[in-house]
Amino acid sequence: MTDLPGAPKLRTETTLTADINGSWRDLLGLANPGASDSLVAPPASTVVPPPSADPPNAAIAPDPATSGQAQASIQASADAAGVRLERLDLRLPRGLITATGAAAFGPRPSITGEITAEDVPFDSLPLSGGSGGWPVPGPWIFGCDLDVQAVVHRAAVAGLTIPTATASLRGSGGTVRLYPATAVLPGGGVASIDARLTATGGPDSGPGCTIQAALAPSGTKARFSGSLDATGAAGTWALTSPSPAAAAKVLGLAALPAVPLEAKGQLTFLAGQSGRWSASGLEARLGGTTLRGQLGAAASPPGSLAFDLAVESLDLDHLPVAGPSPAASGEALPQARGKLRLDHLTGHGIEVRSTVLDLTLGDGAMTAAVDSAEVYGGKLTGSVERLPSGRIAAALQLTGAEAGKLLAKPGLPLSGPITAKLASRPPARPRAISAR
């Protein structure tokens, strides 16, 4: 610390070590001061710890961070005009983040910075959960001039491994914009992102903002417009793609059909550890097929999906063909359960109407319980199960079908109602025979 002209009045070097799996808001002392684990709670003991035996001019030599810990080395200086971050090295259990920056005070405050992240698995970083909410930009971010540049190398984001990404965060006049922002995708394509935030205020006078965002990978355009606050995010979204197969390929996702896709609806994300989300008012057109309904995260088990979807017309003989699949990732599909309603289903010369299926998926298996379906003038009920081995088991019953329609192809001159049952189970594995 010095008062010399032109020299900083304060300069510090600090090393911090923290549990990366802990609550970030508690680490910052934002928990209830009365809580026993709060950093701002009164100490349990009034005994003052002895001073450090290190000499006053000793260099900082922190111990290596253990597994599950993050370690930050900070060099900063400050004076009446502002604060300068000369160097920040944040070593995570996996990956490194470095940064420099400055904050200027005065009638028109400003923040500038440069951030670089290498080998950071952002997907596995713990979210802030000390108060059960999301970290939302506070009013201060809209009251200053912003110019922050970020570069990311070899990062895991949204289930994708991103080789390189760059972004600029600029703010002025009450609006913050993330643009330009580009990312090289696993398939070699490039996705661009444009997002705008405007301060509005959240519930209970908390922080909140409106958000408009657009994502464009390989000709596919996704847009979101809504609000963001500590309770979550909600708004409308739209998606258009001339070729979902091409977009899936550059994103490294499972194969999709090559026919045009249009989709829209309302999207809601709830803050907190549950990660609950829902898409309602869904309307999607893929080729000649229209899908409507809703889907989202189920209450339990964690990571599972719930849905209620309806398809107007589906021709099994002319389904859009999916493009080539990328190499299997080895990750199992999430568990899901819900209703699938098909107004008109055709295939292999059979016409089915008003079908309602209760579907359950998970652990490599699928079960379809037929709540109702009209076939040949009769009612079809039962269930069809696809086992993890790939074999099919079925137990179906057709009641009240018109014999003339059901047996029209064989040419049998029959009439009147007919009842038919079908039961099929995969053959049991042969037992081993031992010789004595």
Considering the domain architecture, whether residues 9 and 99 belong to the same structural domain is answered as yes
Q: Please give the pLDDT value at position 158.
A: 73
- Report yes or no on 263 lying in a domain: no
Q: Please give the pLDDT value at position 119.
A: 96
Percentages helix, strand, coil for the chain (3-state, rounded to 5) are 5, 55, 40
- Report yes or no on 5 lying in a domain: yes
Give pLDDT tens digits for 132-188: 455 667 777 888 999 999 999 999 987 788 999 999 999 998 899 998 899 988 877
* 86, pLDDT greater than 90: yes
Considering the domain architecture, whether residues 414 and 359 belong to the same structural domain is answered as yes
* Cα 6 to Cα 410: distance, rounded to the nearest angstrom: 100
- Report yes or no on 278 lying in a domain: no
Considering the domain architecture, whether residues 86 and 109 belong to the same structural domain is answered as yes
Judged by DSSP in three states, 134 sits in coil
* Cα 86 to Cα 84: distance, rounded to the nearest angstrom: 6
When pLDDT is cut at 50, 70 and 90, the band that residue 206 belongs to is low
When pLDDT is cut at 50, 70 and 90, the band that residue 378 belongs to is very high
Nearest to 355 by CA among 384, 381, 392, 316: 381
Q: Cα torsion for 240, 241, 245, 249, to the nearest 10°?
A: -90
Give pLDDT tens digits for 388-409: 888 889 999 999 888 777 766 6
Considering the domain architecture, whether residues 13 and 119 belong to the same structural domain is answered as yes
The answer to whether residues 183 and 164 touch, using CB atoms and an 8 Å cutoff, is yes
147-178 exposure pattern, b = at least 16 Cβ within 10 A, e = fewer: ebebebeebbeeebebeebebebebeeeebbb
* 22, pLDDT greater than 60: no
**Given the structure tokens 């900082």, which residue do they identify?**
60
Considering the domain architecture, whether residues 89 and 146 belong to the same structural domain is answered as no
When pLDDT is cut at 50, 70 and 90, the band that residue 46 belongs to is very low
Considering the domain architecture, whether residues 99 and 153 belong to the same structural domain is answered as no
Q: Please give the pLDDT value at position 433.
A: 41
The answer to whether residues 161 and 123 touch, using CB atoms and an 8 Å cutoff, is no
* 58, pLDDT greater than 70: no
- Report yes or no on 411 lying in a domain: yes
Domain that holds residue 357: 305-316+335-427
Domain count, the chain: 3
- Report yes or no on 299 lying in a domain: no
Q: Please give the pLDDT value at position 87.
A: 95
* 67, pLDDT greater than 50: yes
Give pLDDT tens digits for 415-432: 678 788 878 776 655 444
Percent of the chain surpassing pLDDT 90: 38
When pLDDT is cut at 50, 70 and 90, the band that residue 240 belongs to is very high
Considering the domain architecture, whether residues 139 and 240 belong to the same structural domain is answered as yes
- Report yes or no on 328 lying in a domain: no
Considering the domain architecture, whether residues 194 and 177 belong to the same structural domain is answered as yes
Q: Please give the pLDDT value at position 391.
A: 87
* Cα 389 to Cα 407: distance, rounded to the nearest angstrom: 34
Distance of CA 382 to the CA centre of its chain: 36
Considering the domain architecture, whether residues 347 and 385 belong to the same structural domain is answered as yes
Percent of the chain surpassing pLDDT 70: 72
Considering the domain architecture, whether residues 194 and 141 belong to the same structural domain is answered as yes
When pLDDT is cut at 50, 70 and 90, the band that residue 49 belongs to is very low
Give pLDDT tens digits for 294-343: 999 888 888 789 999 999 988 888 776 655 555 444 445 578 999 999 99
Q: Cα torsion for 16, 168, 85, 6, to the nearest 10°?
A: 180
- Report yes or no on 377 lying in a domain: yes
Q: Please give the pLDDT value at position 344.
A: 93
Considering the domain architecture, whether residues 245 and 170 belong to the same structural domain is answered as yes
Which of residues 124, 141, 158 is at a domain's end?
Answer: 124
* Cα 147 to Cα 110: distance, rounded to the nearest angstrom: 8
CA distance readout (Å), 43 to 223, 294, 381 = 50, 50, 67
Answer yes or no: pTM beyond 0.85: no
| Rg of the chain on CA atoms, in Å | 30
Q: Please give the pLDDT value at position 17.
A: 80
Considering the domain architecture, whether residues 367 and 348 belong to the same structural domain is answered as yes
- Report yes or no on 434 lying in a domain: no
Which of residues 103, 124, 145 is at a domain's end?
Answer: 124
